[in-house]
Amino acid sequence: MQEVMRDKLVAKAKELLTGGVVTRVLGWKRGEFCYDLTPGIFKSADELDKEFDFGDFAAPNLSKYLIDETRKEDGKVAVFMKPCDTYSFNQLLTEHRIDREKVYVIGVPCEGMIDNKKLSAAADGIKNVAVDYENVVVETLWDGNVTVPRESVLAERCLNCKSKKHVALDELVGYEDEITECNRFDEVARLEAMTPEERFEFWQGELSRCIRCNACRDVCPACTCEKCVFDNPSSGVESKAPSDSFEEKMFHIIRAFHVTGRCTDCGECSRVCPQNIPLHLLNRKFIKDINELWGEYQAGAEVGSRAPLVNYTFDDMEPSEAVERGDKNA
Amino acid sequence: MQDVTNFKPLIVAFCCNWCSYAGADLAGSNRLAYPADVKIIRVPCSCRVNPMFILRAFQRGADGVIICGCHPGDCHYTSGNYYARRRMSLLFSMLDYLGIERDRTRVEWVSAAEGAKFAATMNDFVEKVTALGPNKRLEDLRCKK
């Protein structure tokens, strides 16, 4: 259930297009099914009417698409952003990847998005979906209507929503909200409390499912290198057939490490993973460590903040102490 | 089958050109013994060590990786080791999170004048890694010769 409806966003987009403020609109359009909204560019009111959609499946974070879109042609792009997307947008501005002058950010409040993988697991043959605050009613092809509690199919990142406040904004459609309290590090802490053997078992089980499709890299708003190490055949971690060996772990450590301090914890990596690997737990481990070792840091909270890995103090903790620090907590 | 009783670990040591590499040299000049299992790779600064170097060393069969740099405050490039310190804190913590034995990795600050410390550090590290046995969790079987 989203507070702001599709029609309101379409009206806003049309207003900007006809007013000449922007030349195109970046938003979500209907995919093949009702539950796979995909990013789309709209250049006319007609296109908006036909294809634009917004709702409980508008999960894609649109900020990364702005890099290419702002470079294509002159004129402004209007973009719809949920609160967590604005963090990624700020981070990209910090890294000078997007020309702020060419973007018109329209903030959209978010009540939490539904994870279509969770929904597909709960109901087979989804035809149509109706959502209210309590329940999700799924009209299926062969089982009639199936009702599931909304909380049980909400995306993981929305259950642990870190902020409902837009940190970058030109205009807001709907209401303004606040940064929320969340327990997003609980799962990381649970893993940390395990024995090394248990942790190894856990990650071996998760990461050996990786098929190296690189979707986590492609979708990540922080992964914006023009040339990627994973495309380099001599890197030792270029796309290879799954080997159930160290290579997948190496890939995932490096992937998470490359966005350390820049990852806003938007959760896109886990969302797109076709194998349901909880990749956000790797990123969150780094964020948790950064917070504990060098002070609280939220990437993208403000433009121009200095990331922890390109900074230092004279009395930082030694690596050996940093690793053993976990034992004292346990 | 690998002979565990006669297990000799393969240790990769990344040594900063300006301090630890000279420290290793001094250890040699002073006839201080340290195990020949330590393979030294010279790097211009401890900060040059990309986390992937460490992972690749493990992937290709290293049993332990140690990074030696200048003492904090003594970096030839003023601040390289401070960055390295932060990076390695995160990487080692991540390896620990994935269930890798934490004694397989280490950062040690060794100056050019500390030949004795270099030898002692290597002796201690090799001893620890030998006790852990062969690296099973990190190696890539396809890289085995």
Nearest CA in chain A to B106: A320
CATH of B11-136, one of 1.10.10, 3.40.50, 2.60.40, 2.160.10: 3.40.50
Secondary structure tally for chain B: helices H, strands E:
4, 4
pTM, whole model, 2 decimals? 0.92
Cα(A94)–Cα(B125) distance, integer angstroms: 41
Q: Which residue ranges make up each domain of chain A?
A: 6-113+156-172, 116-153, 186-329
Q: Which residues contact B35 (CB under 8 A, 6 or more apart)?
A: B8, B11, B122, B123, B126
Nearest CA in chain A to B139: A246
Helix (H) or strand (E) holding A254: helix A246-258
Chain A contact present for B128, CB below 8 A: no
Q: Which amino acid is at B50?
A: N
Q: Kindly report the nearest CA distance between residue B139 and chain A, in angstroms.
A: 6
Helix (H, G, I), strand (E, B) or coil at A81: strand
Cα(A84)–Cα(A284) distance, integer angstroms: 15
Give the model's pLDDT for residue A330.
Answer: 47
**B99-141 pLDDT tens trace:** 999 899 999 999 999 999 999 999 999 999 999 998 888 877 6
Neighboring chain B residues of A318 at a CB cutoff of 8 Å = 85, 89, 107
Given a cut of 70, the residues of chain A with pLDDT beneath it are 1, 239-244, 326-330
Cβ contact, residue pair B107, A282, below 8 Å: no
Q: Which residue ranges make up each domain of chain B?
A: 11-136
Nearest to A319 among B59, B97, B107 (CB): B107
Residue B4 structure tokens = 């565990």
Q: DSSP characters for A201-247?
A: HHHHHHHTT-----HHHHH-TT---SS-GGG-TTSS-SS----SSHH
Distances A145 to A140, A218, A222, B130 between C-alpha atoms, Å? 6, 36, 40, 62
Helix (H, G, I), strand (E, B) or coil at B138: coil
Cβ contact, residue pair A199, B99, below 8 Å: yes
| Complex ipTM | 0.91
Neighboring chain A residues of B83 at a CB cutoff of 8 Å = 309-310, 312
Query: Do B69 and B82 form a contact (C-beta atoms < 8 A)?
Result: no
**B40-70 pLDDT tens trace:** 999 999 999 999 999 999 988 899 999 999 9
Q: Which amino acid is at A177?
A: D
Q: Kindly report the nearest CA distance between residue B145 and chain A, in angstroms.
A: 16
Neighboring chain A residues of B106 at a CB cutoff of 8 Å = 319-320
Nearest to A196 among B87, B93, B101 (CB): B101
Q: Is the pLDDT of residue B98 over 90?
A: yes
Mean pLDDT of chain B: 91
Distances A51 to A1, A29, A253, B115 between C-alpha atoms, Å? 20, 5, 38, 71
Q: Which of A253, A258, A315 to mutate to test the interface with B (most CBs of B within 10 A)?
A: A253
Residues counted in chain B: 145
Give the model's pLDDT for residue A109.
Answer: 92
Query: Do A264 and A91 form a contact (C-beta atoms < 8 A)?
Result: yes
Q: Which amino acid is at A328?
A: K
Give the model's pLDDT for residue A266.
Answer: 92
Nearest to A203 among B58, B79, B99 (CB): B99
**A183-238 pLDDT tens trace:** 899 999 999 999 999 999 999 999 988 888 899 999 999 999 989 988 888 877 77
Residue A143, Cβ neighbours under 10 Å: how many? 11
Distances A129 to A133, A155, B65 between C-alpha atoms, Å? 13, 16, 53
Q: Is the pLDDT of residue B23 over 60?
A: yes
Nearest CA in chain A to B88: A319
- Identify the bridge partners of residue A104 per DSSP, sorted by sequence position: A78
Nearest to B97 among A191, A201, A309 (CB): A191
Q: In what order do the strands lie in the sheet with A171-172?
A: A38-42, A24-29, A77-81, A103-107, A171-172
